[in-house]
Structure 1
Amino acid sequence: MNKLLDHNARLIFTHKGFALFILSTLSILALLRFFLFPGFGGDDSEQLVFSQFWSWGYQIRNPPLATWLLIALQQIVGTTSFSIVLLRSLILAGVYALSFKIGEYLYENKCLAALSSGSLLMIFYMGWNTIHGFTHSALVTLFYFATLLMVIVIRQAPSPIKLIFFGIILSLGLIAKYSYLIFALATMAAVASERDLRRYIFSPWVLFGILIPTPIIVPQLQWLLTHAPDGHLINADSSYTIVDIVNQKFLGLFKLIPGAFGFLMPFGLIAVAIFWKSLCHRLNKPEERVIYIKLFERIFFFLLASAAATILIIQSDRLRSHYFFALAPFVTYFFLRFGHAFSSQQKMFFAGMITLTSVGLVTTLVAKYFLEPLVCGHCEDHIPYDEFADQLRQNGFKQGTIFAYFHKDPLAGNLRVKFPQSRVVSAKHPGIIPPAQSFSGQCLLIWPVIGAVEPKSATIRTANLSALNTQISYDHPSKIITAKLPPYYDKAHQLEYILINEGSGRCK
């Protein structure tokens, strides 16, 4: 066993070996996700719908950078379901690369850099949930690590080019995810509190870099202000009493710390189990390391303070899980703060746990394919959209406009990749309508048979009220198509649709 662990550690602790390990893990997970599971969830489906056309914004919840990147990638690989899987894999590869690079700057050897970066696999949201979604969260995590890397690089070898690039990252991070603003402010506050960092980072060159992307930042923020309802973040529910509001905020604050610890699991448990003997060692730390330890600690302090303030202001009793992605750099801090005391044996065992986590992710994804259909009531990832698309073609649909209902199946994005020549509109985002085709086409309204209450009337009503102005009567004849779910084909899934060959309203 020791020989196997030693061989594994020797591989992971080299630059090329770690790169091979991470790229292999991400590639296998991406291929399994693409080939085993025919359906995509809500987040991926939304991106596939939005990427039909370029816009300054698509929804107020998330900025458009991820969608823009998907549009660019689809120009290379085509409008396929693999495009969204590939995009997220490339983003995650960047996250691991930046994390490793930060480790090379901060630690005394590459083994701690590999352990730090590889530990991200052990964070459930980073290792598992990003297989199925969280594209925006993965993208903003890339900017979190890029921000920290630039602070470290500038501190060690400042130059105008690096300062300008740092400013560009600060600016572009805002259109990766709006929550990046909190991380950027926390980082700058932490830098401002440390004189040795402040004199390097606070420079007119950074401001110049921030201003460079303004031709795309300003129109996007204008779009956001135009489309955001007045006070939608801070207005409290008028039915709440003062006691209700106080209880809600207290509950939110109470959940904050457990939520932060929960996000870092199971990394936290594994790290404590292996390194617990070394966590209390008080060894002298070089002044250079102390500066960066203080930087990370102050960033996390400002982040938690901002989170607490957010809970007190917005209409929520808790923070959504994607906000906690800002804590991903905690693994870097952990090895910076304690890694110097870890023994070679401990590092070797932890490297083995990283490899075991990688194998576990692959094994669990395969197991999900075979086991989930046995227990799931609604197997979203197993819906055979290829078969449904074939049946729609056999029943006469060629191309045109597809208006798809969203509950419980994210039909729009899944059908978009099956009919790339058609424009697809989701009932969840009826205002997001791609430009009309230059030719006349058919109008297809489609919805799940089981899901919403009276899904047919809900779909027709939403389509009629949308800018498509379909003008379809509620008693219009419809048809049902059925397909069996893999891999056992013992469960049937049904979709119902209305097909109007000559089109209806602007649905054509």
Structure 2
Amino acid sequence: MDRRALAGRLIAPKAILLMIAAYCLIHYLIRLGLSPIYTLDEAEQVLLSEVWRMGYRFRHPPLMTWIYAGVEDVFGLHRWSFHAVKYILLAGGLSAFYFAARRILASGLDAALALAGLALGFVMAAGFHIDLTHSVLMTVLVFANLHAFVRAVQRGGWSDWVYFGVTLGLGALSKYAFLLAPAGLLLGLALTPYLRARINPIRLGVSLLLGLLIVAPYLGWSAQSGHSFAALTSDVVGADPQNFLVGWAAGTGSLIWALFLAACPLLPVFLVLFPQTLRRGKREGSRAAWRRLLLIAVAAGAGLALAGV
């Protein structure tokens, strides 16, 4: 077998899925072997998942706790089943990201490189395995929502838009910050004529309605319980009503600086692997349109996050 054939096999979808499974299995075994102690986030889920409720701590939506409660009902409370939840979710999320990248980039190699860059970064390779639960689920659903969005734009079938609506609703129940991702995607779509022309407004509207219907019971519970999203936002950012702008500016500056420092080591690598990112085509084709949409989506999501939305 020559090198080209071997390389082709290594980046085939089946091979990539096996690598994702191995990646998650290795992390799962490491987590099981390192310590029998639950971390702070994990211990909270162990306690909250003992009972089924519409909502728990308003600071976090309930979907992750519901998943743990369901697993506990079926298997009982065991370390192996508790930790398996995270890595099964991660395997599904990474697979969704890979297939979304494959559709956008139209290249198995580029999609594999995008997946590797994601999986080997600090957050995915280390941060997710230290003490995170809700953020893991949110990230998984961001990837699933991206995959659904790409399918809906490229194919436009009812099943694709239903998929998008379901991931939209479930994502909102994973963590509130999830909504920044689809908001950015939809804004990018609205500002990209080449892709916007493919959209059936009725199907898009139905998918948004489906997402709202999924999250509606939780919204009703929140209102009935007297919770306020405005008060939660103020509490999370630690805003002082008398010096709100000063606190916001300081926090925003720290976030921008942290993002800059995190991106610096990776920027040269990105430009070497994907030099076409800086090239502007003579006309807006599919790949250029997706590049435009995703850049707008990232900028919009970052802008909303910095604005404290």
For residues 404-440 of structure 1, the C-alpha deviation after alignment (integer angstroms, 9 at most, x for no partner) is: xxxxxxxxxxxxxxxxxxxxxxxxxxxxxxxxxxxxx
Contact 2:161 2:203 in 1 (8 A): yes
- The equivalent position to 1:200 in structure 2, one of 198, 201, 216, is 198
Distance 1:258 1:160 in 2: 43
Higher normalized strand content (fraction of residues): 1
Q: Are 2:255 and 1:252 equivalent residues in the alignment?
A: no
1:122 to 120, 123, 130: 120
1:34 Cα deviation after fit: 0.9
How far does residue 292 in structure 1 lie from its aligned partner after superposition?
0.3
Q: Is the 8 A contact 2:39 2:131 kept in 1?
A: yes
| Aligned with 2:170 (options 172, 185, 194) | 172
- Structure (1 or 2) with the greater helix fraction: 2
Counterpart-to-counterpart distance in 1, 2:92 and 2:267: 23
User: Amino acid of the residue matched to residue 158 of structure 1?
Assistant: G
Alignment match, 1:96: 94
What residue identity is the alignment partner of 2:144? Answer: A
Provide the secondary structure at the position in 1 that maps to 2:43: helix
Counterparts of 1:271 and 1:193, CA distance in 2? 25
Give the alignment of 1:105-184 within 5 angstroms: 105-184=103-182
CA distance in 1, matches of 2:29, 2:264: 26
CA distance change for structure 1 residues 198 and 278 in 2, over 3 Å: closer, same or farther?
closer
Cα distance in 2, alignment partners of residues 201 and 124 from structure 1: 36
Q: 1:176 to 1:166 in 2, by over 3 A?
A: same
Cα deviation, residue 62, structure 1: 1.0
TM-score under structure 1 normalisation? 0.54
Q: Deviations over 1:334-361 (max 9, x none)?
A: xxxxxxxxxxxxxxxxxxxxxxxxxxxx
Structure 1 residue 200, shift from structure 2 partner: 3.4
Q: In structure 1, give the amino acid aligned to 2:216.
A: V
* Maintained 8 Å contact 2:128/2:136: yes
Distance 2:78 2:149 in 1: 38
Measured after TM superposition, the shift of residue 265 of structure 1 is 7.4
Task: Name the residue aligned to 2:79.
Answer: 81
| Residues 24 and 177 of structure 1: CA distance in aligned 2, closer, same or farther (over 3 Å) | same
Closer, same or farther: CA 114–90 of 1 in aligned 2, 3 Å: same
Structure 1 pair 105–179 and aligned structure 2 pair: CA distance change class (3 A) = same
SS class of match (1:233): helix
1:202 deviates by 5.2
- Aligned Cα root-mean-square deviation (Å): 3.0
**Deviation digits for residues 147-189 of structure 1, max 9, x if unmatched?**
2222221222222232232222222221011112222222212
Deviations 1:181-208 (A, max 9, x none): 2222222121112233334345223333
Q: Could you tell me which of 28, 34, 44 is aligned with 2:42?
A: 44
In 2, Cα distance between equivalents of 1:138 and 1:290: 30
Does 2:51 match 1:34?
no
d(CA) in 2 for partners of 1:33, 1:133: 11
SS at 2:57's partner residue? coil
Aligned partners of 1:22 and 1:171: how far apart in 2?
Answer: 26
- Residue 308 in structure 1 maps to residue 306 in structure 2: yes
- Using structure 2 for the length normalisation, give the TM-score: 0.85
1:214–1:107 CA distance, 2 compared to 1 (3 A) = closer
- Partner residue of 1:237 out of 229, 236, 240: 240
8 Å contact from structure 1 (residues 164, 206) kept in 2: no
2:240–2:247 contact (8 Å) kept in structure 1: no
Displacement after TM superposition at 1:270 (Å): 4.5
1:163–1:201 contact (8 Å) kept in structure 2: no
Letter in structure 2 aligned against 1:55: R
Q: Which residue of the partner structure matches residue 189 of structure 1?
A: 187
Deviations 1:87-115 (A, max 9, x none): 11011111210111012212243111111
Aligned partners of 2:202, 2:276: CA distance in 1, in Å? 43
Kept in 1, the 8 Å contact 2:188–2:297? The answer is yes
Q: Deviations over 1:63-85 (max 9, x none)?
A: 11111112222344331122331
Taking the aligned partners of 1:265 and 1:42, their CA distance within structure 2 comes to 31
Shift of 1:56: 0.8
Looking at structure 2, the residues matched to 128 and 12 of structure 1 have their Cα atoms a distance apart, in angstroms, of 25
Structure 1 counterpart of 2:181, one-letter code: F
Aligned residues: 303
Q: Within 2, Cα distance between the matches of 1:136 and 1:8? A: 39
Distance (Å, rounded) in 1 between the aligned partners of 2:233 and 2:254: 20
For the residues of structure 2 that align with 1:109 and 1:276, how far apart are their CA atoms? 12
CA 265–78 in structure 1, closer or farther in 2 if over 3 Å, else same: farther
The 1:262–1:87 alpha-carbon spacing in structure 2 relative to 1, beyond 3 Å, is: farther
